Amino acid sequence: MQTALTAYQQFAGEDFTPNPMQEDLFTHIATEGKNPALLLKAPTGSGKTEAVLIPSLESCRRLFLIFPSRSLVDDQIERCKKYLQCASKKMGKSYALVIDTGAESVRTVFKDGEVLPKGRRHLYDGDVILTTFDKFLYRFFGFGEPNKSYIFPFRIHHSQGHLFCFDEAHAYDQVAFVNFQRLIKALYTANLNMVVMTATMPDTYQKELHFLDTVDYITGENKLNLENWQKQEQERHHPNKTITHIAAKTQKEVTDKIQACVSKPYEEGKRIIVTIEAIKDLVQVYKDMKARGNGENIFLYHGRLSNPQRRKVYSILKELDDANKGYLLFTTSAIEVGCDLNADLLITELCNPDSLIQRAGRCNRKGQIPNAEIVIVGNKIPSFLSILSEDKAEKYLEKLQQQSGGNFNPGDILGLMEYEPHSDYRAEVLFDMLYEYVYNARLENKPLHDRGLVITRSFEPSVTLTTKVPEEEAKHQPENAVSVSIRSCIAWKDGDESVNTNFKVYHRFYDDRSQTFKFELLKWDGSIYFKDLFVQVPECYFSEELGYVEPPKVFEDRGTRGYRRNFVYHTTDENNEPKEIRLHYLKDFEKPQSEDEIQLPLEPPPQGSEQLSLFDID
pLDDT at 294 (0 to 100): 63
CA distance 509 to 347: 44
Average pLDDT over residues 206-232: 90
DSSP string, 315-379: HHHHHHHHTT--EEEEE-GGGTSS----BSEEEEE---HHHHHHHHTTBSTTS--TT-EEEEE-S
> Both 351 and 270 in a single domain?
yes
Count other Cβ atoms within 10 Å, centred on residue 366. Answer: 14
Give the strand pairing for 462-466 and 482-485: antiparallel
Q: Are 185 and 211 in contact (CB under 8 A)?
A: yes
Is residue 164's pLDDT more than 90? yes
> Both 499 and 380 in a single domain?
no
Instruction: Return phi, psi of residue 561, to 5°.
Output: -125, 110
Residue range 523-532, pLDDT digits in tens: 999 999 888 8
Residue range 503-546, pLDDT digits in tens: 999 998 878 787 788 899 999 999 998 888 999 998 888 999 99
Q: Are 195 and 36 in contact (CB under 8 A)?
A: yes
Among candidates 502, 278, 504, 541, which has minimal Cα distance to 384? 278
Domain-embedded: residue 429 = no
pTM of the model: 0.82
Is residue 238's pLDDT more than 70? yes
> Both 220 and 243 in a single domain?
no
> Both 63 and 199 in a single domain?
yes
> Both 195 and 276 in a single domain?
no
Domain-embedded: residue 608 = no
Domain-embedded: residue 607 = no
* Element housing 479 (H / E): none
Half-sphere exposure of residue 183: CA atoms within 13 angstroms, side-chain side: 29
Q: In what order do the strands lie in the sheet with 37-41?
A: 114-115, 105-111, 95-100, 128-132, 63-67, 163-166, 193-198, 37-41, 213-216
Residue range 445-486, pLDDT digits in tens: 988 888 877 888 888 889 999 999 987 655 668 899 998 989
Looking at 216, 232, 248, which one is the last position of a domain? 232
Domain-embedded: residue 530 = yes
pLDDT at 201 (0 to 100): 82
pLDDT at 614 (0 to 100): 43
Number of domains in the chain: 3
CATH number at residue 306: 3.40.50.300
Domain-embedded: residue 592 = no
> Both 54 and 132 in a single domain?
yes
Domain-embedded: residue 279 = yes
> Both 317 and 382 in a single domain?
yes
Domain-embedded: residue 401 = yes
> Both 177 and 269 in a single domain?
no
pLDDT at 181 (0 to 100): 93
Looking at 169, 203, 232, which one is the last position of a domain? 232
Looking at 384, 414, 444, which one is the last position of a domain? 414
**pLDDT band at residue 407 using 50, 70 and 90 as cut-offs:** very high
> Both 223 and 243 in a single domain?
no
Average pLDDT over residues 152-172: 86
Instruction: Give the domain extent around 221.
Output: 4-232
> Both 195 and 244 in a single domain?
no
Decide: residue 71, CB within 10 A, 0-12 exposed, 13-18 middle, 19+ buried. Answer: buried
Half-sphere exposure of residue 346: CA atoms within 13 angstroms, side-chain side: 32
Domain-embedded: residue 258 = yes
Average pLDDT over residues 265-294: 85
pLDDT at 121 (0 to 100): 60
> Both 131 and 267 in a single domain?
no
> Both 53 and 109 in a single domain?
yes
pLDDT at 53 (0 to 100): 94
Residue range 58-80, pLDDT digits in tens: 998 999 999 988 878 887 888 89
Whole-number average pLDDT of the chain: 85
